[in-house]
Amino acid sequence: MKIRPLKIIKLGGSVITVKEIRWSIRREVLLRLLRELGTYREEFPENQVVLIHGGGSFGHPLVKDCVSRYGKITESCYISTADSMDTLNAIVRKYSINVARIPAISIPPRTICSISSGSPRCRLDPVVAALERGFTPILYGDVVTSDRGFEVLSGDTLAWYIARDLGALEILFVTDVDGLYERDPKLDPNAQKITEALVDEVINYVAASSSTVDVTGGMMKKLIEGKLLGVRGIKVKIVGGFIEGNLYSALKSDNFVGSIVWY
């Protein structure tokens, strides 16, 4: 197996959907981000990309409702959340193929991953097989089977897992904020932006703050996850997703609006 320089892109659910409004898509933002990726792919065909997207309003509210009603993800919640995530994924894939000319192939995480004692385990050979053929695999935050029944496997966790196991150079987290701040900038507009840091410098004081509909943890979880999975030697970019051209700039160089965190 020969994987060329690999970058993992996680399109945040809060960028491509309006998280508070169920089944709402930010179509123009999504199309622009995919076009930027398509342009990058055409200019740098030697580089590999795995595309991951979050659940946003197609995932989090459904799981939250279910857990508050039944205390767990029931069989019927598993089916309806899987269906909802597949709907969002089909839109991302169709735009990728038909608008951005990305040879996208979906790999539903629930078909390759499970969770045991809280730890994910994924069979990545379908991802590798797609990369080897020059395709762009698309994965997403999903519901998966676990030793406790059903659990959410977030797109952030998948990004870290794939980055670690396939030896990625970079993870780009495309978010609805323009970088990593000392505290949640939505709650504290005076919070200072951290443009570049080692993960150990920021992990202790970045505020753990997540919105009410987020069942997988916000910015803090994004950063801790890499530490928990023992990832080292990776550059992580927090990329402002609402700024035109910014994903393309972040893919091409370190000159973008956002933050860099070294692992």
Q: If binding is defined by CB under 6 A, does position 56 make contact with ligand ATP?
A: yes
Q: Which residues bind ligand IP8 (CB under 6 A)?
A: 13, 54-55, 59-60, 63, 81, 85, 141-143, 152, 154-156, 215-216
CA distances from 152 to 10, 126, 229, 235 (A): 16, 21, 17, 26
Query: What does the DSSP 8-state code read for residue 142?
Result: E
Our CB check for ligand ATP shows the closer of 33 and 128 to be 33
Burial of 204 (0-12, 13-18, 19+ CB in 10 A): exposed
Residues in binding contact with ligand ATP, number by CB under 6 A: 25
Interacting stretch for ligand ATP, rule CB under 6 A, among 64-72, 78-86, 89-97, 212-220? 212-220
Least CB distance from residue 16 to ligand ATP, whole Å?
8
CA torsion, points 152, 155, 158, 163, in degrees to nearest 10?
-160
Cα separation, 73 vs 183, in Å, equals 31
Q: Choosing among ligand ATP, ligand IP8, none, which partner's interface includes residue 63 (Cβ < 5 to 8 Å by kind)?
A: ligand IP8
Q: Which is nearer to ligand ATP, 101 or 217 (CB)?
A: 217
Residue 17 corresponds to which tokens in the numbers above?
């959907």
Residue 60 CB, nearest distance to ligand IP8 (Å)?
Answer: 5
Alpha-carbon Rg for the chain, nearest whole angstrom, is 17
- The neighbouring-strand residues paired with 173 are 10, 238
Task: Choose from ligand ATP, ligand IP8, none: what does 143 bind? Cβ within 5-8 Å by kind.
Answer: ligand IP8
206 binds ligand ATP, rule: CB under 6 A: yes
Element (H, E) at 143: strand 142-146
Residues of this chain that bind ligand ATP (CB under 6 A): 12-15, 54-56, 60, 155, 175-177, 180-181, 183-186, 206-207, 209, 214, 216, 218-219
